């Protein structure tokens, strides 16, 4: 029997709309306490025992035995061989996607990622310099969520930023082994590699790579081992163990945002073919059962047309079961009073992906304050952005677009303030600084400013 997908139907005119909508949106990001504790133990162990601990956990969790971590390193030749073995169409698609992503991030760097300075009238120089990170680590999940596009989206901005060393970790579990314990019989078995990921590493310019994963890989990157170099920042998606490990090493290294389930919100005015919108909702739902697809539309007939398209198209989809579960459990088709109201609701959700499927997208865009990425117009399917339009597909999820941004060149750069106070500037600034420093009871701060004055006053409160 084919599964059916019937997303929750709501209308903002319903008196219980708020409560029902809130219930549908609810998702808890609480980390399991047991996972937290295991991750803390793994991190501490890798920090203490380095390579030996990494090898043990890789054998236990991935069923992958090796005599040394060096044996788990992939080479540039591995990347190139994987790339060369691909069908021409895939090779060209990978290169085309990487080129467009590179161009977009180069424009981003030029617009927002360069240093600046100005001089005061008295010659004092103020500004910021921008420098790339020295070395970054990219986590690439193994198994069902192994996405070469994700590697491109992480590695290319790092490259554009000027990061000289990009270290990838990607688990290659031995088939049949599971995360709760490796098979002792797996000795010398080769882990399962994703050739598209290796090919993407060739295209995206990964410097080094290790076939390790989980909290142990995060620990190796954060603390460094004899074999795995310590990085300055770790980006990339992963399971609950990886997310917990990244959160825990935050501060020792930088991390990107911790991602929740993926979401799409479609604002539709009814002008886009209903099948296109239905397929856009599917494209989010097919990720996993927790993914969330929501349609907001002021046209009830159009909502019915989208539901009909869902019914028609779902049976053709290879991932129909996942799509149906996601749409049934977390999806919603919401009838709004107006497009303006739809925009206001969207701002409350702060969706990861926001499609403005409208004949006049630029009318609504200025009303949209919080979103990871905004897809304007009927032709802009989210999937074009996921792979090759140019912008990054690593986006803030679960409402975190209220305070965070797409992954970008800026995530692989950092800034240093530049200050050069002239002799003249030190006279005016010194008086202000000293006044405030004495007020805070920090006399050495005050005195350091006063010593630079042409007429050094007596120290206040000297012993």
Please report, as residue ranges, which positions from 52 to 111 form the binding site for a copy of itself (by CB under 8 A): 89-90, 92-94, 96-97, 100, 104, 107-108, 111
User: Which H or E run includes 1?
Assistant: none
| Per-residue tokens: 60 | 């236990």
Query: What's the closest the beta carbon of residue 315 comes to a copy of itself, in angstroms?
Result: 7
Q: Which residues contact 230 (CB under 8 A, 6 or more apart)?
A: 135, 221, 222, 223, 224, 253
- Residue 362 in marked binding region: no
Q: How many residues bind a copy of itself (CB under 8 A)?
A: 133
Q: Please give the structure tokens belonging to residue 110.
A: 């030029």
Reduced to 3 states (helix: H, G, I; strand: E, B; else coil), residue 451 is: coil
CB of 13 to a copy of itself, least distance (A): 26
Task: Let me know if 352 is a catalytic residue.
Answer: yes
For residues 253-292, which are near a copy of itself according to CB under 8 A? 253-254, 257-258, 273, 275-276, 279-280, 282-283, 285-287
Residue 462 touches a copy of itself, criterion: CB under 8 A = yes
Dihedral, CA of residue 107, residue 167, residue 249 and residue 152, to nearest 10:
40
Kind and range of the H or E run holding 169:
strand 165-169
Separation between Cα atoms, residue 3 and residue 150, nearest integer Å: 30
Least Cα distance to 99 among 232, 204, 208, 215 occurs for 204
Q: Which residues in the 351-380 window bind a copy of itself by CB under 8 A? A: 361, 365, 368-380
Applying CB under 8 A, which of residues 45, 62, 192, 386 lies at the interface with a copy of itself?
A: 386
262 carries a ligand binding annotation: yes
Known binding residue 65? Answer is: no
Give Cβ neighbours of residue 48 (< 8 Å, ≥ 6 apart). Answer: none
Positions in 142-201 near a copy of itself (CB under 8 A): 147-149, 196
266 has which bridge partners? 295, 355
Catalytic residue among 286, 352, 355, 450: 352
Binding residue per annotation — 287? Answer: yes
Contact map string, positions 418 to 447, toward a copy of itself, x by CB under 8 A: xxxxxx-xx--xxxxx-xxx-xxxxxxxxx
Q: Which stretch binds a copy of itself (CB under 8 A): 9-17, 126-134, 203-211, 333-341?
A: 126-134
Single out the catalytic residue among 192, 353, 355, 450. Answer: 353
Kindly state the tokens that stand for 151.
């590697």
Whether 354 and 314 have beta carbons less than 8 Å apart is answered as no
User: Within positions 225 to 254, which residues make up the interface with a copy of itself, using CB under 8 A?
Assistant: 232-233, 247, 250-254
Among residues 405, 454, 455, 457, the one that binds a copy of itself under rule CB under 8 A: 405
Question: Judged by CB, which is closer to a copy of itself: 60, or 402?
Answer: 402
Supply the minimum distance, in Å, between the C-beta of residue 196 and a copy of itself: 5
Interactions with a copy of itself, residue window 18-57 (CB under 8 A): 29
Decide whether 169 or 373 has the Cβ nearer to a copy of itself.
373
What are the structure tokens assigned to 189, written together? 């078995």
> Alpha-carbon dihedral of residues 159, 197, 260, 19, nearest 10 degrees?
120
**Number of helices followed by number of strands (H, E) in the chain:** 17, 15
Clarify whether 353 is annotated catalytic: yes
Query: Looking at the annotation, which residues are catalytic?
Result: 352-353
């Amino acid at each position: 029997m084919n599964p059916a997908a019937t997303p929750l139907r709501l209308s903002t005119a319903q008196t219980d709309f708020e409560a029902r909508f809130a219930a549908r949106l609810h998702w808890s990001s609480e980390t399991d306490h047991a996972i937290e504790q295991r991750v803390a133990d793994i991190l501490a162990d890798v920090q203490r025992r380095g390579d030996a601990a990494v090898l043990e956990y890789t054998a236990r969790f991935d069923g992958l035995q090796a005599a040394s971590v060096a044996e788990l390193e992939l080479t540039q030749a591995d990347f190139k061989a994987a790339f060369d073995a691909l069908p021409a169409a895939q090779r060209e698609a990978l290169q085309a996607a990487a080129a467009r992503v590179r161009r977009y991030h180069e424009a981003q760097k030029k617009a927002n990622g360069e240093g600046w300075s100005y001089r005061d009238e008295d010659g004092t120089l103020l500004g910021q310099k921008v420098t790339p990170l020295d070395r970054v680590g990219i986590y690439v999940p193994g198994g069902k969520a192994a996405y070469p596009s994700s590697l491109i989206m992480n590695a290319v901005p790092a490259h554009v930023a000027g990061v000289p060393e990009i270290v990838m970790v990607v688990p290659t579990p031995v088939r049949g082994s599971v995360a709760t314990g490796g098979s002792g019989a797996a000795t010398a078995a080769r882990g399962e590699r994703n050739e598209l990921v290796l090919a993407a590493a060739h295209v995206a310019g990964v410097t080094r790579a290790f076939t390790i994963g989980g909290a142990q890989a995060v620990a190796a990157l954060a603390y460094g081992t004899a074999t795995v170099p310590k990085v300055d920042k770790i980006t990339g998606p992963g399971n609950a163990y990886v997310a917990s490990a990244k959160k825990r090493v935050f501060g020792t290294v930088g991390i990107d945002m911790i991602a929740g389930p993926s979401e799409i919100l479609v604002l539709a005015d009814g002008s886009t073919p209903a099948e296109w919108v239905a397929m856009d909702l599917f494209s989010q739902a097919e990720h996993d059962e927790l993914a969330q697809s929501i349609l907001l539309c002021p046209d009830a007939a159009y909502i019915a047309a989208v539901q009909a398209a869902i019914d028609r198209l779902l049976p053709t989809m290879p991932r129909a079961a996942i799509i149906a579960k996601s749409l049934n459990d977390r999806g919603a088709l919401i009838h709004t009073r107006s497009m303006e109201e739809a925009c206001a609701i969207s701002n409350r959700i702060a969706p990861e992906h926001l499609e403005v499927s409208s004949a006049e997208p630029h009318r609504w865009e200025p009303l949209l304050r919080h979103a990871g990425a905004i897809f304007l117009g009927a032709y802009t399917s989210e999937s074009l952005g996921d792979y090759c339009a140019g912008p990054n597909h690593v986006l803030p999820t679960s409402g975190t677009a209220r305070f965070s941004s797409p992954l970008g060149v800026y995530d692989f750069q950092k800034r240093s303030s530049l200050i050069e106070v002239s002799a003249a500037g030190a006279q005016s600034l010194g008086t202000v600084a000293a006044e405030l420093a004495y007020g805070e009871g920090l006399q050495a701060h005050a005195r350091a400013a006063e010593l630079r004055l042409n007429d050094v006053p007596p120290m206040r409160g000297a012993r």
